[in-house]
Amino acid sequence: MNAIPRPSAASTFIHRYVPASAPGRPPVLLLHGTGGNEEDLLGLGERVAPGSALISPRGKVAEGGANRFFRRFAEGVFDEDDLIARTHELADFVAAIRAQEGLPAPVALGFSNGANIAAALLLLRPEVLAGAVLLRAMAPFRNPPQAAIPGTPVLLLSGDMDPIVPAENAARLAATLTGAGAEVTHQVLPTGHGLSSPDLSLTHQFLAGLGTPAG
């Protein structure tokens, strides 16, 4: 795998970029969980989206030395002002790297904190993504903004033993995205907050069903 550092104008985020090796596959925006970095999900991306271009930024917020994409006040209590600002910053980065590399809109693949900001991208900057895989995501906003994402494919995978994401919260996120017009598949797996083999197989199947998005 040829992961290329990109210290260019598009690089408002430290990130890794892996060029596509197969035609007709949508790029994948990899968004790590708390404590991860730009390297964390490259192997996962290669496994579930073989041949796709991979964009993997590092979250710019430090919490006790752990990288995150936005601040929080406590577990599950988000600093929504910071979340909004960081979401727009990430969206602008995606637009810049798309222009730099000549890419169509990517599909986000986010885990935990990364999945939460991916959900915020769908609601605040819907033009940025062609779809999303949200692994152990929570509803990012107490009062979600009005959004229109008709037909946008979203896979939301939750764990029925997840100590971090309440079942009601994940269901509320699914309802919010569905209400905005997204084509949401929400599956609750017999697992906790960590990823399992079914997460990988379901994500691979979902991404394999997507062609290169327009634009």
Which tens digits make up the pLDDT trace of 98-109? Answer: 999 999 999 999
Average pLDDT rounded to a whole number, residues 11-28: 92
Average pLDDT rounded to a whole number, residues 14-40: 95
- Catalytic residue, from 15, 32, 40, 112: name it: 112
- Catalytic residue, from 32, 162, 186, 199: name it: 162
- 4-208 maps to which CATH number? 3.40.50.1820
How does residue 67 score in pLDDT terms, banded at 50, 70 and 90?
very high
CA distance 170 to 196: 18
- Assess whether 162 carries a catalytic annotation: yes
CA distance 152 to 148: 9
- Assess whether 112 carries a catalytic annotation: yes
- Above 90 in pLDDT, residue 118? yes
SS3 22: coil
* Confidence at residue 10, expressed as pLDDT on a 0 to 100 scale: 63
- Which residue would you say has higher pLDDT here, 31 or 8? 31
* Confidence at residue 135, expressed as pLDDT on a 0 to 100 scale: 98
In percent, the amount of the chain with pLDDT more than 90 equals 90
Strands 15-18 and 4-5: antiparallel
Strands 183-189 and 153-159: parallel
* Confidence at residue 3, expressed as pLDDT on a 0 to 100 scale: 53
Nearest residue to 68 (alpha-carbon basis) of 99, 27, 101, 113:
113
- Above 80 in pLDDT, residue 2? no
Counting DSSP H helices and E strands in the chain, the numbers are 5, 12
- Catalytic residue, from 92, 193, 196, 204: name it: 193
Nearest residue to 157 (alpha-carbon basis) of 199, 194, 206:
199
Average pLDDT rounded to a whole number, residues 181-189: 98
